[in-house]
């Protein structure tokens, strides 16, 4: 919770001590604060996305389109620029959602067979550390995202201020998503917990009985790690476990991250190696 939000909550608690009528006022005020916080985060996502598209996409480029809620704003802006500037752009999706966004916005859809080398990929993240290592896959789309980012000359991350972190795990508490072949989810979970500690859970669906099934027909494990680690080594070691398809650790992949901040600005961070 941000300091500003904590202070607001303290004021609300003091203003509405516990009686039935004051409890209802308090619930109402807390609801308004929550929705203001959501609006602020959405505005921040939009500003980061627009800024990243304006700074990194040019005419005649092949663009990788990520997944999640932030990328929606980036596709809005891409479509706006294509209309207004008559840009000739080809888009490669990283998920079913991204493919739908591209089609709904009337953008040119392609794939890695026709365009195996991309100029730039733009995608969201669940958390970004000081070196631009990322946790991705909160929405279950990590494998295709990593493939597309890996085929791109330049990989740009867009996010709001809540994702901007010193070390992975400081902001994002749901763990590292790991895509696995369904039959292997138990042994893979046990091996990760035994070797690296922490807790590994099969991600369950919300509006369906049973587990989340990815765009590649696999399962997702969420590994709640206990301490900061050498993420490059951990990523490689987990990938070597039979049954693991991909991890949501994106290490040394992103060159730039755009964060929409609470004060309305956009903060741009570059990866240490590209500075
Ligand atoms: O699986 C989802 C993707 O990795 C998203 O890019 C990531 O979860 C960030 O999503 P959002 O933009 O909704 O925070």
Spatial distance between the Cα atoms of 49 and 70, rounded to a whole number of angstroms: 7
66 Cβ inside 6 Å of ligand 1: yes
| pLDDT value for 21 | 66
Regarding whether 81 and 186 lie in a shared domain, the answer is no
For the annotated catalytic residues, the residue numbers are 145
Regarding whether 226 and 90 lie in a shared domain, the answer is no
Q: Give residue 38 CA to ligand 1 midpoint distance, Å.
A: 16
Strands (E), the chain: 62-65, 90-93, 108-109, 118-123, 127-128, 134-135, 152-160, 176-180, 199-202, 219-224, 244-247, 249-250, 256-260, 266-270
Cα separation values, 107 from 86, 89, 124, 129, Å: 12, 8, 19, 32
Token match 């789309």: residue?
Answer: 141
Regarding whether 99 and 32 lie in a shared domain, the answer is no
State the burial class of residue 273 (Cβ atoms within 10 Å of its Cβ: 0-12, 13-18, 19+).
Answer: exposed
Regarding whether 142 and 259 lie in a shared domain, the answer is yes
Do 252 and 133 meet the contact criterion of CB atoms below 8 Å apart? Answer: yes
131, part of any domain: yes
Regarding whether 69 and 135 lie in a shared domain, the answer is yes
Regarding whether 137 and 59 lie in a shared domain, the answer is yes
| pLDDT value for 19 | 65
171, part of any domain: no
Q: Ligand 1: which of 67, 127, 168, 221 to mutate, judged by most atoms within 8 Å of the beta carbon? A: 67
Do 50 and 73 meet the contact criterion of CB atoms below 8 Å apart? Answer: yes
Q: Give residue 32 CA to ligand 1 midpoint distance, Å.
A: 25
90, part of any domain: yes
Regarding whether 184 and 132 lie in a shared domain, the answer is no
Q: Find the range with the poorest average confidence among 5-9, 180-184, 219-223.
A: 5-9
134 Cβ inside 6 Å of ligand 1: no
140 Cβ inside 6 Å of ligand 1: yes
Mean pLDDT of 152-168: 98
Residue with CA nearest ligand 1 atom 7? 125
170, part of any domain: no
User: What pTM was computed for the model?
Assistant: 0.89
Regarding whether 130 and 52 lie in a shared domain, the answer is yes
Q: pLDDT band at 16, cuts 50/70/90?
A: low
Q: Give residue 204 CA to ligand 1 midpoint distance, Å.
A: 17
- In a 13 Å sphere around the CA of 264, the CA atoms on its Cβ side amount to 0
Regarding whether 132 and 60 lie in a shared domain, the answer is yes
Regarding whether 210 and 140 lie in a shared domain, the answer is no
| pLDDT value for 20 | 64
CATH of the domain at 134: 3.40.50.1360
138, part of any domain: yes
* Number of domains making up the chain: 3
pLDDT tens, position by position, 187-238:
999 999 999 999 999 999 999 999 999 999 999 999 999 988 899 999 999 9
CATH of the domain at 187: 3.30.70.260
Q: Is the pLDDT confidence value at 2 over 60? A: no
Cα separation values, 169 from 5, 134, 138, 228, 231, Å: 21, 10, 13, 7, 12
Regarding whether 144 and 260 lie in a shared domain, the answer is yes
137 Cβ inside 6 Å of ligand 1: yes
Regarding whether 142 and 268 lie in a shared domain, the answer is yes
Domain extent, residue 197, equals: 176-248
pLDDT tens, position by position, 31-70:
677 788 889 999 999 999 999 999 999 999 999 999 999 9
pLDDT tens, position by position, 113-158:
999 999 999 999 999 999 999 999 999 999 999 999 999 999 999 9
222, part of any domain: yes
267, part of any domain: yes
């Amino acid at each position: 919770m941000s300091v500003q939000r904590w202070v607001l909550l303290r004021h609300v608690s003091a203003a509405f001590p516990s009686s039935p009528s004051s409890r209802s006022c308090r619930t109402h005020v807390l609801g308004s604060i929550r929705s203001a916080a959501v609006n602020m985060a959405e505005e921040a996502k939009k500003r980061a996305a627009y800024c990243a598209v304006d700074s990194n996409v040019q005419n005649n480029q092949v663009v990788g389109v990520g997944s999640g809620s932030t990328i929606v704003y980036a596709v809005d802006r891409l479509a706006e620029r294509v209309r207004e500037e008559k840009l000739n752009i080809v888009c490669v999706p990283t998920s079913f959602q991204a493919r739908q966004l591209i089609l709904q916005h009337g953008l040119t859809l392609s794939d890695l067979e026709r365009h195996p080398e991309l100029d730039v990929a733009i995608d969201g993240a669940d958390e970004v550390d000081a070196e631009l290592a990322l946790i991705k896959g909160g929405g279950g789309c990590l494998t295709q995202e990593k493939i597309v980012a890996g085929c791109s000359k330049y990989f740009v991350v867009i996010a709001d201020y809540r994702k901007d972190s010193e070390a992975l795990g400081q902001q994002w508490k749901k763990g590292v998503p790991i895509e696995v072949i369904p039959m292997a989810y138990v042994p893979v979970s046990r091996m990760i917990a035994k070797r690296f500690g922490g807790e590994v859970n099969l991600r369950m669906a919300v509006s369906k009985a049973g587990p989340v099934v990815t765009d590649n027909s696999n399962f997702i494990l969420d590994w709640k790690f206990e301490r900061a680690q050498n993420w490059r080594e951990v990523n490689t070691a987990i990938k070597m476990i039979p049954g693991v398809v991909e991890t949501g650790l994106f290490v040394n992949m992103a060159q730039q991250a755009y964060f929409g901040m609470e004060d309305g600005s956009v903060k741009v961070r570059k990866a240490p190696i590209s500075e």
